Every structure is written in C-alpha cells, then in structure tokens.
Structure 1
Amino acid sequence: MKPSERELTEVRLLIGGQWHDGVEQAEVLDKYRLVPCARLHLASREQVHEAVAAAQAAYEQSGLTPYERGAILDRAAGLIEGRSEMLVEVMRSEAGFTLTDAQGELKRCVQTFRLSAEEARRLTGEMIPLEGAPQQGGRLGFTIPVPLGVVCAITPFNAPVNTVAHKIAPALAAGNAVVVKPSSSTPYTANLLAQALLDAGLPPGLIAVLHGGAAVAQALIDEPAIRFFAFTGSTEVGRDIQRRAGLRRTQMELGSIAFTVLCADANLDAAIPKIVGAGYRKAGQVCTSIQNLLVERSRLEEVQARLAAAVRALPYGDPHDAKTQVGPVISEAAAQRIDGWIQRAAGRGARVLAGGPRQGAMIPPTLLADVPRDCDVSCQEVFGPVMSIEPFDSIDEAIARVNSTPYGLATGFFTNRLDFAMKAVRRLHVGGVHINETSSSRVDLMPYGGTKDSGFGREGPRYAVHEMSEMRMVSLTA
C-alpha cells in the first residue's frame, strides 16, 4: 500500500543557510519496493539564481582561515560518523544499497572529509627562484593558493554520499562556496551531509543544495558567478556542460567500459573474490565495475567454472535484508534496459553462465561468455550487475582490446610477471592501472579520473583542492 503523505520524508532546498520548499514536488522511490519513500522539492530558475547569489555573497564575506576550514570539516566528519545509522538506512531505501555497500560508502565519506580537512591545513604555494634570472637580485617570489569562488557540484546516484563528499569537501577546504545538485534519484543524503556541515559551524550560505533535473542543471550552467563545475555522469551530458562552461574550469568524471585482465600466471584464489566484488557491488553501478573480464585462454575454462559458481551463490534481492549482497538497480526502466541487452546477447549466441529473470528493478547477478563484441553488453556501458568473460592469447592483444573503446577510466591487471605489469602500465590508455587489483580498486586519497571519453581532471582531496584553487604569483623587491 502506498505510504500516506505524512510518512514521506520532505527533501527540501538549502538556500542561504535555510531550508526552503520548491515550486514543484516529485516522489523519490524506494528502489526495491518501487513505492514512494520521500517527497522531493524541485528548484525554480529563480531559486537557482538566489542560491548562487547567496553562495557568492557568503564566499566574499568568509574570513575562514585554513585551520578553521579544516576544523569544520573534521567536526562534520565526526557528525556524519555519529549519524551513520540514519544515513545507511536512507541509502538502503533511496539508492537500493545493501547493508555492506551502504556502510562502505559511509566509511569512505568520513575518510574523504578527514582527508580534505588535512588538505585545508597544508594547502600552500611554492617559492619561485627569481634571483636565478638576470637582473633580478634582491627580488623574492612565491605563489599563494587562492579559492576560485563558487563551485558547482553535479553528482550521480551511484555514490550518493562519497561522490558528493569528494566534491564539496575539497571545494570547502580550498576556501570556496559550493552549490550541490545531487541526483533526483538519491537526493536526501546530500541534504544530510549539508546539515552536518552547518551543524559543524560552516557559515550559512557557503553550501547550497538544489534539487531537480536537467532544467536545474541548465540554470546552474547559465549562472556566470559559478567558476568551477565538478561533474560526474554520462559522457553526453559532460560534453554539453563543457561546451557551455566556456572559459570556466571543469572536472569531468564520465562514462566507462571497465576491463580487468587475468593473465595465465595470476593467483586465482586471490583474484576471483576481488573480481566478484568489483563486478557486482552496488549492483554493478560503479563506473569502474568490471564489465569485460579478459582471461588468458589457457585458464579460460577454469575461470568460467569458478566465477559462475561464485556469482550464482551471491544472495540478491531486498537490500533491507542484511544477508543480501546484490540489490536492485536504480530504476525499473534501467532494469528493463539491462535485461534487454542480456536477452539480445543471448539471442546472438552468448552463453548465460549465471543469471535469471528480471523482477521489477532487480537484475540477478549475471555472468556471460561468448558475447559478440558488437553487442550492447560488450561495447556500451551496462551500469548493472553484468560481467562478460572474453579470452585473449597475448598481452599485446589484451592491451589492444582495452584501448579499443572510446573510454579510459581504469583497468585491473592480474599477473606476477613484472614485464607484463610494466607493459600494461605504459601502454594502457586509462587514468589508473591497478596491478593485482581490479579496475574498481580505489583508495580515496589517490588521484582518480580518466582520459579520452571518460573525462579529465582528478578527484582525491589533495588533487581536487588544487584544481579548485588558482595560484597567485607574488613578488617582492627590496
């Protein structure tokens, strides 16, 4: 039965330090039960302008020192950790995350805030050796980092806490104001993070949260006061933002078809559990989830048998059940698309080693073999719990296969041969190469980002803080 109106969580807009109703409302669905769990308030163009103007004013008035910015982020990390139970339950409903996925997301978010606090305190420029140039004796030169102003963060549904943290925490650490537009599918967690920052002492106005779809994103791009756009989403939308941003800075984390390579000498006992985790956590809705697993032909049959058994054993279904390891995808429409791709591949000769019928937004963990390369599940980003196994006969062939797609985010490479590992590191056209780890391996302090159609710029607090700052040259003459 549909919950009564009073049972729905109100997900409002944060403008100028105050929570506001939107001009229109929409429902947010529980991703497994497909019933409303929240009422989302949508921003008008006027509210977008008001939020950006308030953020700009707060930025101009802010006198926070680097120490104070770090202290606020540290306090916010503590508050987020203390409110973890609530945040985890929200993610299980609005994102469809399992208990393990939600807890992992929350722990990483806390770490991202704490790393950003450290970066706020140690952000610095460098000395410039002006006296090493002709006729510059007695002259001192150095750079200082200064914030850009207002940063706009447009974030996705598949990491509704940690990806938001990776954009707002470095922006604030650098001294900027930030306006967040989270995914309308998973909006409430962004509100909870913003409230934690306000409760931690962040001056009102330095963070705003605006909800809505493409119209709100377009209105944000039209605001000239925004100096930096940090976007995670599809390559198509990223291209449009980049085109319209003009001379303003951007950081783009876009589409991906992620590969992991399993060489004949790999330790399968160590590799297979990592591969299963990387293929099916968050229902495969991670940009670096293993979509295509390349296996050296001499180990193909063994890998297929062991992986099929492991994938069939994964408990899937209701994310509110603590035993569930794979939950639903983000919507029934997404599940219908993914299921259609699986069926088309099977119709063209692909073997389904593990899987089952779709139920609502639930796609059972699926493992495929013998997939034609021009099938959707092989040549387009699935963004679901589907992995395809593909054989290769040489390292050069495997590297060429990874490089054949327009994307280049990350690749895993399992081998014990140093020459193979270094060849992969040097020749793969991706932003990250992980030896004896999967494509989905990520530690939040590392630089994270891609190349080609997977975007540019780097997340990771140290790197993002520098991207969200500019270096000002200072010289002093005696």
Structure 2
Amino acid sequence: MNKHSSAHSDVLKAAFIDGTWKDGSAGTFEVRNPHNGEVLHNVGYAGPDDVEAAIASARKAQPAWAALSTIERAQIMRRVHQIFLERAEPIAQMITAEIGKTINDAREEVFEYSAPSWAKSAEEILRHRGLSFPSTQERTRNKRLVMSHRPLGVVAAITPYNFPTDISSIALAHIAAAGNTVIWKPSEYAAVSCAMLGEIFKDAGVPDGVINIVQGKGDVGAALVDSKDVDGVFFTGSTATGRKIAEKCALRPHLLELGGDGPFIIMDDADVDAAVDGAMNGCFYYSGQVCTSAERVLVHEKVYDEFLEKLSAKAAALKIGNPAEEDTEMGPLCNKDTLARVKAHVDDAVAKGAKIEQFGPEEGLYYPATILTGVTTDMDIMREETFGPVAPIYKFSDVQEAIDIAHISGLGLIASLWTKDLATAWRVGEALPHGSVNINETSNYWDQLAPFGGAGQSGVGRELSQWFLETFTEKKLLVFDLGGETYNRRAEGGW
C-alpha cells in the first residue's frame, strides 16, 4: 500500500501499476506545504521503465475491461463514487496541505465535483447512444447502416495541481467508463491527494491495470505522450505545453484544456453589486489559480468608480492566511513558478504606469489580493494569463472596444458579461471568441453536464459529460446488406 498518510521521512511509492504500488527508478521529489514551506512528503519518481510498465499494464488489461458489459462498468464507477464520498474529508485536508487551497474550497472540490464525476460517468455510458441511417446510395430496402462507438484503447491523462482530484476524476472516470484503460500522471504538487485515489480504485473493484498512476514531473508526462503505445491523450495545463502535445498527437485523438484570459466585462447597465461579488470570486478564488479566472476586468466608464470602490472594500475585507483554518478565504500560491509569474506581470504593469492597491501579506508564497488601475493593452497582464490574485481593471467607453480587447490574447476559454439587456448579452456573447460566455455569472462557473473547453490557444475539444466520450471513443459504422430483392444499384439512373 502507498503510505499516503505516513511520516515526513517515509518515501511514498512512485507508481500504481497493475493494481500494486511500486518504488520509482528515478529517485524522489519533495512535496512542500505552500503555507509554511515544510516538507510534507518525499515521493518516488517514476522513471522511463516505470512508464513503460504502466503502459504495458494498461494495454494488457484493456481488452477484458472493454469486454465487460456496460452495466458492469457502470456499477464499478458507482462504487468508486460511494467510497470516494466516504473518504472525501481526509482527501480534502490533503489537498489543502499540498496546494494551499482553503479547506472549504477543497471540500467543495471533492464532495461537489470529484466524487460525483464517477457516478455521472456511469450514467453517461448507459446513455451513450449510437445512430442508424437510412440507405440513400441505392434503390433498395436491403441495406442497414448502424453507427456504434468503440474505445480508443490506452489513454494518457496528465492533470494539473489546481483541481487535483476534480479534473483528474472527470477525465479518468469517463475515459475508463467508455472501455479504455488509463495511465495517469498527476501534478507533482498534489502527489499524495491523487495517490489516495489509487486506494479507492483498488477497494472499489476497478480491475488491475485499468487505471495506473505514475508520479513525477514534466518528463514523465512527456514520456507518456511520446509513446507509440498510447492511443489518446488528455491534458489540462499551460498553452505552451499543450502546443507541444498537439504537435506530437497529430494523428491521435487528444483533448486539451489550456490557459484562459477571462475577460470580465461589466456594461453600464449592470447590477454593480452582483458584478462585484462575481469579480471577487473570479479574481481571488483559490488565489486566482484557475484557468477560468477573471484575468482582465473591463468596466464601462459610467459604473467604473462605483465598481472600483466596492471591489476595493471587499478585497480589503478578505481573510487571507492559513488555508486549513475554517474561516480563511484566500491562502498562498501553490509554488514558486506561479509566484514569479504573478510578480513579473504586476511589476511590468506598474513600470508601465498602472496604479496598485494591495491587501494582505506578501511573504513566502503568499501574495496580496491586488487591484491594478490605469492598465493599458500593452501590459503583459492584459495579454497573457497571470494565474494569481490580481484584478487588472480597464475602463472602456464603447462595447466594441471591450470586444476588441477580448480578442488580443489569442486565448478563448471563458468570458463573463454583465448586463441587464438581453440583446446586448446575445450580441456581445456571440462576438466574444470564447468557448463559453457566462452572462451575469462569474467566470469561475461551469456545469458538469455541459460542454467545457476553449477556442484558439485555450484548447482542443470539449470535456465533461457526453463530450468526453466523443473524444475518447471512435465512431464505428456497420453496413449490412440483408439480401433478398434484386435492385438497381444506381440511385439516380439514366446514365
């Protein structure tokens, strides 16, 4: 068993292969608590031979797993859901310790999103329909055309730190439920909270080899993508890494959910109080480390002063500190790389004339809730994903100006639009180059049964619900000629 609750000195196993935890062949890496910098765990590092063994295990298990009846696979998914709920609290506490997400937000992740994904995947495969087609090419009633779905085979899932059990559960549950087997490379920052899922799979009766786990950093994920024995790839993370994966998966199915630019557009007729609440969530939820964060706040000049005053007051009242405390509203950033990017973007904006207002500590991995005004479109923070607790506020006077700014990043995941006018909402929503536009709702809102994904550099494909199954199954057409009557094969005739 992987000693996921063991003392700091223990080395945790590197790989869950064929139902057994194994030591890694590439050394170890540390997982630190972002709140205080303490070492939480030493984790085994999976080497190339471990990755190959995991792929071989998945390949061996896949035919028997796919051969199970749909209801048998659905029942196993439901058992994962049940056991996950029973163990959700310690997993939430581990998420808080590993990535600095507040305990209440970690509980939301495991109880509201992660665990239910397994039951939802069961319902999806029970309702994953095929199609029948009429015979249109020949003058006959002998033909029958039926389309069904078959699993891809072996799929790699590479998941991020910010929703370590949620994004992974969505992917793993739907990929496996469809009859595929999986090799999962979790984020190195959330190694143990993810390893705790391996115990759930075992106890729920997921057959050995169906879901394998390999721990490590980017080189482990790259080894999975490079393998010719991997039939499809799921990845959530940076646009830069996603582009490399897409280049290597030119002839393989892949689903990529990448960076977001989160334009948060507030029109002159908006409910300002509601928009302020939405911006607080959009800018400061999990310290801004969400791909759907409100990365750029565009406010109409008529409500700019009111919005800024109310947002500043609420930001000043945020309880920032130890994420394990029940009343904490914002904790630290997860790691040094994220902190460095946030500081660089804010420093660039200030150097180019932005004014800064900050609330909360700046020490260790803590970064204050930050409001920038006087921002301009040449600033990095207006053109790139920041991924931190920063609200850059831009004043606009014409809606077309806001639409134009929404286009400049090349990203297009989720936008948020605030207006009371239906025609404005419809027209602006259609004009924004984003996979989703939330009207009078924060950018950090998504529905687990609706398609989720981005346009442009924000990704390829759509995840959640049936859209996941569409990517990780192949359509298969069976054409029957039942025989009997003779007929003219020429549908039109006369030639």
User: Structures share a fold, TM > 0.5?
Assistant: yes
Residue 204 of structure 1: how far off its partner (Å): 0.6
| CA distance in 2: counterparts of 1:182 and 1:233, whole angstroms | 11
Q: Does 1:61 align with 2:71?
A: no
Q: Distance in 1 between matches of 2:399 and 2:380?
A: 25
Please tell me whether the aligned partners of residues 14 and 46 of structure 2 are also in contact (alpha carbons under 8 angstroms): no
Corresponding residue of 2:316? 312
Q: Are the aligned partners of 1:11 and 1:38 in contact in 2 as well (CA < 8 Å)? A: no
* CA shift for structure 1 position 323: 1.4
- Aligned partners of 1:154 and 1:230 also within 8 Å: yes
Amino acid at match of 1:13: A
**How many angstroms apart in 1 are the aligned matches of 2:36 and 2:11?**
16
Deviations 1:403-451 (A, max 9, x none): 1221111101111111111112221111001111122211111111001
Partner of 2:378: 374
1:199 Cα offset (Å): 1.3
Give the secondary structure class of the aligned counterpart of 1:322: coil
Note the C-alpha offset of 1:376. 2.4
Give 3-state SS (helix, strand or coil) of 2:243's partner: helix
Alignment partner, residue 123 of structure 2: 118
Q: Distance in 1 between matches of 2:399 and 2:376?
A: 20
| Per-residue deviation, 1:224 | 1.3
After superposing on structure 2, the runs of 4+ consecutive aligned residues of structure 1 that deviate more than 4 Å are 3-9
For 1:140, the aligned partner's letter is R
By how many angstroms is 1:386 displaced?
0.7
Question: How far 1:6 moved relative to its partner?
Answer: 5.1
2:17 pairs, out of 15, 18, 21, with 15
Rate the CA distance shift 1:129–1:269 in 2: closer, same or farther, 3 A.
same
Is 1:412 matched up with 2:409? no
**In 2, Cα distance between equivalents of 1:160 and 1:440:** 16
Residue 182 in 1 paired to residue 178 in 2?
A: no
Q: Residue 52 of structure 2 is aligned with which of 45, 49, 53?
A: 49
Q: Secondary structure at the match of 2:382?
A: helix
Deviations 1:277-315 (A, max 9, x none): 121111100001001111110000000000000111111
What is the distance in 2 between the residues matched to 1:328 and 1:134?
Answer: 67
Contiguous gaps of at least 5 residues in structure 1: none
- Kept after mapping to 2: 8 A contact 1:11/1:39: no
TM-score (norm: length of structure 2): 0.93
SS at match of 2:188: coil
2:453 aligned partner: 449
Q: TM-score, normalised on structure 1? A: 0.96
Contact 2:281 2:442 in 1 (8 A): no
Task: Return the letter of the residue paired with 1:20.
Answer: K
Distance 2:298 2:41 in 1: 42
- Alignment partner, residue 272 of structure 1: 276
Deviations 1:150-197 (A, max 9, x none): 110011111101110121011011110011001111112222223212
Structure 2 partner of 1:434: 438
SS at match of 1:438: coil
Look up the SS of the partner of 1:119 in the other structure: helix
Q: Which runs of 5+ in 2 are unaligned?
A: 483-495
1:72 touches 1:197 (CA, 8 Å); kept in 2? no
Give distance in 1, aligned partners of 2:6 and 2:157: 33
Q: CA deviation at 1:222?
A: 2.4
Q: SS of the counterpart of 2:415?
A: strand
- Look up the match of 1:28: 31
Distance 1:4 1:230 in 2: 31
Given residue 349 of structure 2, which amino acid in structure 1 is its aligned partner?
Answer: A
SS at match of 2:363: coil
Q: Over alpha carbons, which structure has the higher Rg?
A: 2
Q: CA deviation at 1:149?
A: 0.2
**Contact 1:379–1:405 at 8 Å: present in 2 too?**
yes
Equivalent AA in structure 2 for residue 27 of structure 1:
E
Of all paired residues, the percent bearing the same amino acid is 31
Deviation at 1:41, TM superposition (A): 1.1
SS at match of 1:226: coil
Q: In the TM superposition, what is the alpha-carbon distance from 1:70 to its structure 2 partner?
A: 1.3
Equivalent pairs counted in the alignment come to 475
